[in-house]
Structure formats: structure tokens, C-alpha cells
Amino acid sequence: MLGLSVPGFWLGLVMILVFSVWLHWLPTSGQGGWRNLIMPAVALGWYFAASLLRLTRSSMLEVLRSEYIKLARLKGLPGYVVIAVHAFKNALIPVLTLAGVNLVVMINAAVIIEVIFAWPGHRPAALRGHLPARLPARAGRRHGGRHHDRGDQPDRSTSSTPTSIHASA
């Protein structure tokens, strides 16, 4: 239950305080060797590992109570075959669904973890993806005030079409 209730950014700050400041075991931030990856990886994967493990356990318990598992055991199949071949395969369906949803959440959470650990990851690319390369000063004045795509259309201000479509009686 602790894995689901502790946010990743808080865990990251506590890990920096304990393992870097007090114990001097790991570097506080930056890019470098494998020691620089330990705390960001744990802080990012903490919540997701806890949620996937909890769902895997509950899904596996539910599948093991099903009728086809009882039938496989009555046939005399070994326990590891029943669990590995029949039960685990069917228990993974909701787990993989949650893993797909968690992937999107993990990408968003990685931006916060990168800020905490000063890790130059995909944060700049994520920010650049929301900003277009060139923003026109005014949308109507992109091409010097002239609309090149309307060159063959008649001027709408001198059109001979009536302004009202209702005929008067």
C-alpha cells in the first residue's frame, strides 16, 4: 500500500536526502554512470511497479479460482504447468491493459522526475513539441496582406447576390 500512496516526486526528494546528503552513497543529480540512474529509476518506477504487482496478484487469484483451472488440476497436470501455461496467460490481460495506460502516465511523470534529478531527458523535446517553429504575427497577414489561395475568386463585396434569401409577399 505504501507504493501507491507515495508520489514519485516526494520519494525522489526523500531519496536525495537519505542516499545523497546523509549517506553520500549516490550522486544527487546529473548525468554520468550507472549510479546516476538508480534514484531516478526507482522514483519513477515505484508507483507503477506497485500498481502492476497489486493487479497481477489480484488477477492471478481470480483466475486460479476459475473452473478451467480446476479442470486442468483434475486432469492431473503439474502445478507449474497449470500456473505458467493456463493461469498466468489469462491473468496478464488486465495487467497489460493497465501497463498501456501507465505508459502514458509514466511519460508525464518522467518530466517531473527529470526536473528533480536534473536529468536532461525528454523534457526539452516535450516542450518543443508544443511550440510551433514559426508563429505568424497575425494570421490574416501571413503573405504580406495578400491571400494567394483566393486569387481566382470574385470580390465578395461587389457580389450581385441578394443579402436576404426570403422573398417578400
The answer to whether residue 161 is domain-embedded is: no
Backbone dihedral angles phi then psi of residue 108, each to the nearest 5 degrees? -70, -40
The answer to whether residue 71 is domain-embedded is: yes
CA distance readout (Å), 118 to 9, 93, 126:
13, 36, 16
pLDDT tens digit sequence for 107-164: 889 988 988 988 776 656 666 665 555 555 555 554 555 555 555 555 555 555 555 5
The answer to whether residue 70 is domain-embedded is: yes
Confidence (pLDDT) at 78: 94
The answer to whether residue 116 is domain-embedded is: yes
Find the domain containing 20 and state its range: 2-123
Q: Alpha helices, DSSP H only, in the chain?
A: 2-5, 8-15, 35-64, 67-74, 79-81, 88-116, 123-130
Mean pLDDT of the chain: 81
Confidence (pLDDT) at 133: 56
Domain total in the chain: 1
75 or 160, which is more confident?
75
Confidence (pLDDT) at 143: 52
Confidence (pLDDT) at 120: 74
